[in-house]
């Protein structure tokens, strides 16, 4: 594994596009830049004027009441939906016209709110499917089992176990993915996403259905993943202890629009956010 | 041996089982212990095992319903027959000519599979089932209209679409032969197929399909089956991998068709109708979706059963149907499964320990 470098929770500084990123990422170009991103479903503006900048090693949070359009933003970033308006720059490259599989190869990996594992396959195979584009041998090599097949399969096996060990799941490698307990399935989805070697990891409600101690462990692990792989993380989460605990920059969405951006302290004090969550003070 | 993965063991058991069955039947045949009827089943059984294994790649592994698998077999059979008949002087060695015919059959079926796959595999849902159903029917009717002859100048094709043409319209030179005569099908075919050739084809099909499933390609195909959106999200080109499964399956069916075609002296295209496709699908479903050795056993047993029941004449399809229903009930019975689990508890333990 890459040499670990621990990042302290960064001081956030503004960047030109009226977003903020951690100070340590200032000298590098941001990993993700969205400008004027939006999508309409018929007459409904599901997401509008979504502008965000995420630094190379930032852990960013996307929060908002139910139905605010958070998962839609993820689906736009990964091109499950094609945006109606706006641009997405990933590592400085425009993603217009790309399909989901290409977006993954460009560096975005994600997990899903409702778990989407390959449930009939083993845990190890799930991770190996994540490694699909790093294994480079043709279908014919696989059928003929040439030496290249054995070399790469051995490497994939070792890499899969190494990735599973992040969550201490290497002993579950031969289990069927669909038979795992709920929390383990969520963790496996993260491992599978990491296996695709992303530079930006999107986590859709990673702590959903977890108890407080599991959530605390997950928080540590997300930070550990960021430190180990030196990647950016954008997460959707309703558990405020997790969001306020690890997210450096937080973006609040309501009715498809960003209503606030800032650090945890700024968000907690923002009247618009309080109104969106608790309603207007009488 | 302990370090081998469970899947590797199952694969090897499949190869060994097929080889043992081949050796035993060969020995029996050598000692004249098989009746003529039994001996005539051997090559078709091999063909239908390959058909079932290849259809399982599409239905069980790739998760798309294909109802026109006999169409690929038909293409393979007739192109194989044409290849074998027209090359009879160029390649006098029979086994080599059979091999060439099977390669030609596989290639033609693969091209057909690719052409159908282009529009259909991009769609979602049951479109593949509907289009393959139509494809099987179209192929059957097209070959009914096809006239093919061979003489010194080469191959001659005529499409008898208006029903007014005959073999004479091929304008064959003296010494030329008509290979496919429209509705009559292929006639006067030199029988080349043999049981060892069938065994080799079954082994090739098993190696191709099993090795593919255990490779990066097979994992990608199964990922598309289990969850298309998740497969896309980890960078898998879903259409490409569905296409690979479909084309490989069509090619194997084409090779099986060529072997099948060269085991009869005459063959009409009506032999490869919708019933044949459904019959192969039944082998696959009863053998277990995604279970390759299940397809081998399913095809062997269910092909031989109605043949062996011929003496019951009128009742044979009834008995066949009852057996199918009973197998369905038995394999879906939880109590029976629990009973089997109690008899062999060790196996279960080994599975969970992996």
Do both A98 and A3 map to the same domain? yes
Per-residue confidence (pLDDT) for residue B3, from 0 to 100: 55
CA distance A112 to chain B (A): 8
Instruction: Share the mean pLDDT of chain A.
Output: 91
Residues A151-168: b if buried by 16+ CB within 10 A, e if exposed: ebbeebbebbeebbebbe
Do both A177 and A139 map to the same domain? yes
A272 touches chain B (CB under 8 A): no
Contact B189, B265 (CB under 8 A): yes
Which residue bears the tokens 């009715």? Answer: A255
- Comparing B342 with B77, the larger pLDDT belongs to B77
Do both A102 and A205 map to the same domain? yes
**Final residue before a domain boundary, out of A197, A219, A239:** A197
**Cα separation of A168 and B271, whole Å?**
57
Please say if the pLDDT value at position B353 is more than 70: no
Per-residue confidence (pLDDT) for residue B324, from 0 to 100: 78
Asked whether residue B305 is assigned to any structural domain, the reply reads: yes
Q: Quote the tokens at residue B27.
A: 């020995």
Instruction: Share the mean pLDDT of chain B.
Output: 87
CA distance A275 to chain B (A): 35
Minimum CA–CA partner of A106 in chain B: B235
**Cα separation of B220 and B234, whole Å?**
10
Asked whether residue A44 is assigned to any structural domain, the reply reads: yes
Per-residue confidence (pLDDT) for residue A279, from 0 to 100: 81
CATH of the domain at A85: 3.40.50.300
Q: Quote the tokens at residue B318.
A: 């009834």
Per-residue confidence (pLDDT) for residue B311, from 0 to 100: 75
The residues near A27 (Cβ < 8 Å, ≥ 6 apart) are: none
Q: Which of A43-52, B46-55, B87-96 has the highest mean pLDDT?
A: B46-55
Asked whether residue B338 is assigned to any structural domain, the reply reads: yes
- As for the ipTM of the complex, it is 0.90
Query: Given B212, B218, B229, which is nearest A80 (Cβ)?
Result: B229
Please say if the pLDDT value at position B198 is more than 50: yes
Do both A75 and A205 map to the same domain? yes
Residue range A142-171: average pLDDT? 94
Asked whether residue A165 is assigned to any structural domain, the reply reads: yes
Asked whether residue B1 is assigned to any structural domain, the reply reads: no
Residue range A251-268: average pLDDT? 91
pLDDT tier for residue B351 given thresholds of 50, 70 and 90: very low
Residue range A240-246: average pLDDT? 92
Per-residue confidence (pLDDT) for residue B350, from 0 to 100: 44
**Cα separation of B17 and A202, whole Å?**
48
Please say if the pLDDT value at position A84 is more than 90: yes
Do both A271 and A145 map to the same domain? no
Asked whether residue A113 is assigned to any structural domain, the reply reads: no
Could you tell me the residue range of the domain that residue A160 belongs to?
A: 119-197
Please say if the pLDDT value at position B52 is more than 80: yes
Do both A19 and A98 map to the same domain? yes
pLDDT tier for residue B4 given thresholds of 50, 70 and 90: low
**Final residue before a domain boundary, out of A146, A172, A197:** A197
Q: How many domains does chain A have?
A: 2
Do both A51 and A136 map to the same domain? no
Per-residue confidence (pLDDT) for residue B80, from 0 to 100: 95
Among A30, A67, A84, CA closest to A249: A30
Per-residue confidence (pLDDT) for residue A1, from 0 to 100: 47
Do both A42 and A95 map to the same domain? yes
CA distance A210 to chain B (A): 22
**Cα separation of B208 and B53, whole Å?**
10
Q: How many domains does chain B have?
A: 1
Do both A253 and A230 map to the same domain? yes
pLDDT tens column, B267-292? 998 899 888 999 999 999 888 888 99
| Other Cβ atoms closer than 10 A to B40 | 13
Residue range B47-56: average pLDDT? 97
**Cα separation of B136 and B66, whole Å?**
10
Residue range B314-324: average pLDDT? 78
**Cα separation of B277 and B59, whole Å?**
12
**Cα separation of B206 and B199, whole Å?**
11
- Comparing A142 with B312, the larger pLDDT belongs to A142
- Contact flag B226-A121 (C-beta cutoff 8 Å): yes
Do both A100 and A203 map to the same domain? yes
CA distance B185 to chain A (A): 35
**Cα separation of B292 and B49, whole Å?**
10
pLDDT tier for residue B1 given thresholds of 50, 70 and 90: very low
Contact A130, B217 (CB under 8 A): no
CATH of the domain at B36: 1.10.3470
- Comparing B124 with A170, the larger pLDDT belongs to A170
Per-residue confidence (pLDDT) for residue B115, from 0 to 100: 94
| Other Cβ atoms closer than 10 A to B346 | 8
Asked whether residue B190 is assigned to any structural domain, the reply reads: yes
pLDDT tens column, B244-270? 999 999 999 999 999 999 999 989 988
pLDDT tens column, B21-37? 999 999 999 898 888 88
* Residue of A76, A106, A110, A129 best to disrupt the B interface, most CBs of B under 10 A: A129
Residue range B50-54: average pLDDT? 97
Residue range B136-161: average pLDDT? 87
Asked whether residue A112 is assigned to any structural domain, the reply reads: no
Per-residue confidence (pLDDT) for residue B74, from 0 to 100: 96
Asked whether residue B182 is assigned to any structural domain, the reply reads: yes
pLDDT tier for residue B349 given thresholds of 50, 70 and 90: very low
Do both A145 and A178 map to the same domain? yes
* Residue of A107, A118, A157 best to disrupt the B interface, most CBs of B under 10 A: A118
A82 touches chain B (CB under 8 A): no
Please say if the pLDDT value at position A53 is more than 80: yes
Asked whether residue B310 is assigned to any structural domain, the reply reads: yes
Please say if the pLDDT value at position A2 is more than 70: no
pLDDT tier for residue A25 given thresholds of 50, 70 and 90: confident
B237 touches chain A (CB under 8 A): yes
Per-residue confidence (pLDDT) for residue B310, from 0 to 100: 76
Could you tell me the residue range of the domain that residue B46 belongs to?
A: 6-353
- Comparing B154 with A156, the larger pLDDT belongs to A156
Residue range A36-44: average pLDDT? 92
Please say if the pLDDT value at position B181 is more than 60: yes
**Final residue before a domain boundary, out of A177, A197, A217:** A197
Q: What pTM did the predictor assign?
A: 0.89
Contact B250, B113 (CB under 8 A): yes
Do both A41 and A94 map to the same domain? yes
The alpha carbon of A174 is separated from its chain's Cα centroid by a whole number of angstroms, namely: 26
Contacts of B218 in chain A (CB under 8 A): 142
């Amino acid at each position: 594994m890459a040499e670990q470098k621990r990042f302290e929770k960064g001081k956030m500084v503004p960047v030109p596009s009226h977003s903020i990123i951690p100070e340590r990422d200032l000298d590098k170009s941001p990993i993700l830049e969205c400008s004027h991103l939006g999508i309409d479903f018929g007459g409904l503006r599901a997401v509008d004027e979504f502008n965000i900048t995420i630094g190379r090693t930032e852990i960013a949070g996307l929060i908002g009441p139910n139905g605010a359009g958070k998962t839609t933003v993820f689906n736009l970033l990964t091109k499950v939906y094609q945006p109606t308006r706006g641009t997405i720059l990933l590592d400085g490259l425009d993603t217009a016209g790309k399909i989901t599989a290409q977006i993954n190869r460009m560096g975005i990996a994600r997990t899903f709110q409702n778990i989407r594992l390959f449930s009939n396959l083993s845990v190890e195979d799930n991770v190996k499917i994540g490694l699909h584009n790093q294994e480079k041998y043709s279908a014919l090599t696989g059928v003929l089992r040439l030496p290249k097949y054995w070399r790469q399969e051995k490497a994939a096996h070792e890499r899969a176990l190494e990735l599973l060990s992040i969550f201490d799941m290497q002993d579950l490698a031969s289990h069927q993915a669909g038979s795992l307990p709920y929390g383990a399935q969520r963790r496996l989805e993260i491992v599978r996403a990491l296996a695709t070697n992303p530079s930006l990891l999107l986590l859709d409600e990673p702590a959903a259905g977890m108890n407080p101690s599991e959530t605390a462990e997950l928080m540590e692990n997300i930070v550990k993943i960021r430190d180990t792989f030196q990647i950016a993380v954008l997460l959707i989460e309703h558990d405020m202890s997790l969001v306020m605990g690890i997210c450096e920059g937080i973006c609040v969405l309501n009715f498809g629009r960003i209503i606030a951006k800032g650090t945890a302290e700024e968000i907690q004090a923002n009247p618009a956010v309080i109104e969106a969550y608790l309603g207007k003070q009488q | 041996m302990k370090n081998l993965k469970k899947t590797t063991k199952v694969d090897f058991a499949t190869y060994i089982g097929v080889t043992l069955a081949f050796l035993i039947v060969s020995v029996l045949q050598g000692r004249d212990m098989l009746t003529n009827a039994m001996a005539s089943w051997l090559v078709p059984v091999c063909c239908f095992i390959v058909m079932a294994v290849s259809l399982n790649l599409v239905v069980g592994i790739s998760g798309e319903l294909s109802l026109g698998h006999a169409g690929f077999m038909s293409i393979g059979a007739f192109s194989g027959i044409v290849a074998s008949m027209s090359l009879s002087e160029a390649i006098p060695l029979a086994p080599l000519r059979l091999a060439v015919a099977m390669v030609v059959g596989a290639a033609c079926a693969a091209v057909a599979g690719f052409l159908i796959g282009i529009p259909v595999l991009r769609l979602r849902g049951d479109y593949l089932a509907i289009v393959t159903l139509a494809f099987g029917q179209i192929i059957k009717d097209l070959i009914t209209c096809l006239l093919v002859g061979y003489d010194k100048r080469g191959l001659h094709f005529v499409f008898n679409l208006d029903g007014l043409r005959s073999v004479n319209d091929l304008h064959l030179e003296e010494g030329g032969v008509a290979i496919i005569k429209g509705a009559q099908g292929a006639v006067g075919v030199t029988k080349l197929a043999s049981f060892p050739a069938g065994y080799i084809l079954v082994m090739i099909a098993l190696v191709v399909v099993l090795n593919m499933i255990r490779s990066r390609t097979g994992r990608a195909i199964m990922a598309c089956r289990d969850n298309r959106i998740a497969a896309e999200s980890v960078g898998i080109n879903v259409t490409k991998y569905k296409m690979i499964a479909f084309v490989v399956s069509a090619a194997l069916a084409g090779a099986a068709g060529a072997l099948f075609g060269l085991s009869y002296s005459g063959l009409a295209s009506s032999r490869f109708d919708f019933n044949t496709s459904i019959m192969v699908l039944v082998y696959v479903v009863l053998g277990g979706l995604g279970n390759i050795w299940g397809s081998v056993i399913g095809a062997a047993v269910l092909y031989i059963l109605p043949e062996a029941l011929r003496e019951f004449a009128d009742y044979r399809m009834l008995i066949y149907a009852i057996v199918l229903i009973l197998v369905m009930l038995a394999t879906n019975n939880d109590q029976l499964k629990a009973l089997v689990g109690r008899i062999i508890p060790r196996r279960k333990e080994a599975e969970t320990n992996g």
